[in-house]
Amino acid sequence: MADTKTDNSAVDLKVKVREWVLDRLAVPPSELSVLDLYCGQQGEMYQRVWSKAGHYLGVDKNRPHRLAKTMRASAEMAVQELDLSLFNCFDVDCYDSPWAVARRILRRCGHGRFGLVLTEGTARSLKSGDCNEVIRATLGLGALSNLTLMIRFNDVVTRLMLASLVSLPRVRLECAIEGVVRKQNVIKYLGLVVDKAAR
Ligand SMILES: C[S@@+](CC[C@H](N)C(=O)[O-])C[C@H]1O[C@@H](n2cnc3c(N)ncnc32)[C@H](O)[C@@H]1O
């Protein structure tokens, strides 16, 4: 069967993870400022969750929805160029590996508590023997050319990548939740509340 990319294959689970993060973050809607980095053409997460935020910016490299303020750009470029201190909630609802973008967010965001939601679909690329550079670098797999067998250790890869993410300087993980869909590929929906100390 073809390996198709579906935008919202587990919408209810994705909504629950986001609502869990919002409950723990516990900021009034007027103070909630969301950067929705893979906002999609339908803006499903905007419609279901983020529309309650006082401030919102959606980013998508293809066709961002038009339900609120959005821009057409890659997430990689957005997290490099935007002033991330303006946001206290980040949504990384990508198709495969969220780690490079998540690491950039944690390095460049302001201090204080914030929410981070990740869609972890690295299994797709691990399955094809591919493995993105940030995973190779973080896990010290640079010298291995064929990573096909890593699919067996997908859950371990996720744990190690998450541990490394929240070990970045001044970062502390307050709490986290994981929702998992095991279909053709394993997709994990991670919700984190993170506290970043001031310099
Ligand atoms: C799973 S869908 C997102 C669904 C969306 N969060 C929603 O609530 O409807 C993934 C989206 O990522 C976009 N996309 C893919 N690669 C991207 C990139 N490098 N930067 C930004 N958007 C990207 C696709 O156009 C697609 O809309």
Q: How far is the CA of 143 from the centre of ligand 1 (A)?
A: 31
60 CB under 6 A from ligand 1? yes
SS3 63: coil
pLDDT at 9 (0 to 100): 58
21 CB under 6 A from ligand 1? no
Neighbour count for residue 46 (Cβ, 10 Å): 23
Length of the chain: 199
SS3 182: strand
pTM of the model: 0.94
**Model confidence over 21-61: pLDDT tens digits?**
999 999 999 999 999 999 999 999 999 999 999 999 999 99
Q: How far is the CA of 199 from the centre of ligand 1 (A)?
A: 33
Given a cut of 90, whether residue 123 has pLDDT beyond it is no
Q: What is the DSSP-derived secondary structure letter of residue 145?
A: S
| Domains of the chain, CATH where assigned | 11-196 (3.40.50.150)
Tokens 């983020």 found at: 50
Rounded to 5°, angle at Cα 188 from 133 and 176:
100
Q: In this prediction, what percent of the chain has a pLDDT beyond 70?
A: 91
Quickly state the pLDDT bin for 69 (edges 50, 70, 90): very high
Exposure of 58 in the CB half-sphere (CA atoms within 13 A): 25
pLDDT at 8 (0 to 100): 54
- The rounded Cα 181 to chain-centroid distance in angstroms is 16
43 CB under 6 A from ligand 1? yes
Q: What is the DSSP-derived secondary structure letter of residue 165?
A: H
Q: How far is the CA of 190 from the centre of ligand 1 (A)?
A: 16
| Closest atom, ligand 1, to C-alpha of 41 | 27
Given a cut of 70, whether residue 111 has pLDDT beyond it is yes
| Residues forming beta bridges with residue 117, ordered by sequence position | 91, 191
pLDDT at 122 (0 to 100): 87
| Among 30, 65, 27, 34, residue whose Cα is nearest residue 49 | 34
